Amino acid sequence: MKKALIIIDYIYDFVADDGKLTCGKPGQALEQKIVELVKEFQQNGDFVVVASDNHDESDAYNKERNMFPLHCYEEKGRALYGAVDAVIDTTKNYVKIDKNRYSAFCGTPLDLKLKERDVDEVHLVGVCTDICVLHTAVDAYNLGYKIVVHKDGVASFDAAGHAYALNHFKNVIAATVV
């Protein structure tokens, strides 16, 4: 069984105190866990994916424009948060995926990249549990992947949404929550 760690939106605009759409302290608290997982996955030869929101501020067709403040359109806002960037070895078993929808699979080559590497188990971390992590998990389920969500590797600005998503992972899409 080949595994991939998918780091979802663990970027400045969603995590830093002054990020444009930050979940703040709950997101910041994930940093060490994500660093540990990156080291573990890369040491074991497993695949690491960074899936980051990437918006064009002039895109009038982006549905999020009317729902959320403009975010992830500047290089700074799309940069990985904290020490995560420093520990990723981008020379092997790594890919960065830009996305402009909630799911890391929607409109991206993620499924193809995973299938090329015979990945059948995805481990999810990042923010927000009840938005981009949830939608990525549902798409992974629909594509037939085994899903593992690291409870201490996901966070949201909405405690009720976070709890809902953790329950949904376990009880609706048969994900393993560790």
The stretch 27-50 carries a mean pLDDT of 97
Place of tokens 């409870």: 151
What's residue 134's pLDDT?
98
Neighbour-count burial for 9-24, b at 16+ CB within 10 Å, e otherwise: bbbbbbbbeebbbbbb
Q: Quick: pLDDT tens for 86-103.
A: 999 998 899 999 898 899
Q: Quick: pLDDT tens for 164-175.
A: 999 999 999 999
Asked if pLDDT for residue 71 goes beyond 60, the answer is no
The CATH number linked to 10 is 3.40.50.850
What's residue 178's pLDDT?
97
Q: Band of the pLDDT at 19, cuts 50, 70, 90?
A: confident
Please provide the size of the chain in residues: 178
Total domains present in the chain: 1
Query: Which residue range(s) make up the domain with 64?
Result: 2-177
Percent of the chain with pLDDT over 90: 74
The stretch 16-42 carries a mean pLDDT of 93
Mean pLDDT of the residues in the chain? 91
* 95 C-beta neighbours (distance < 10 Å), count: 17
Q: Band of the pLDDT at 57, cuts 50, 70, 90?
A: low
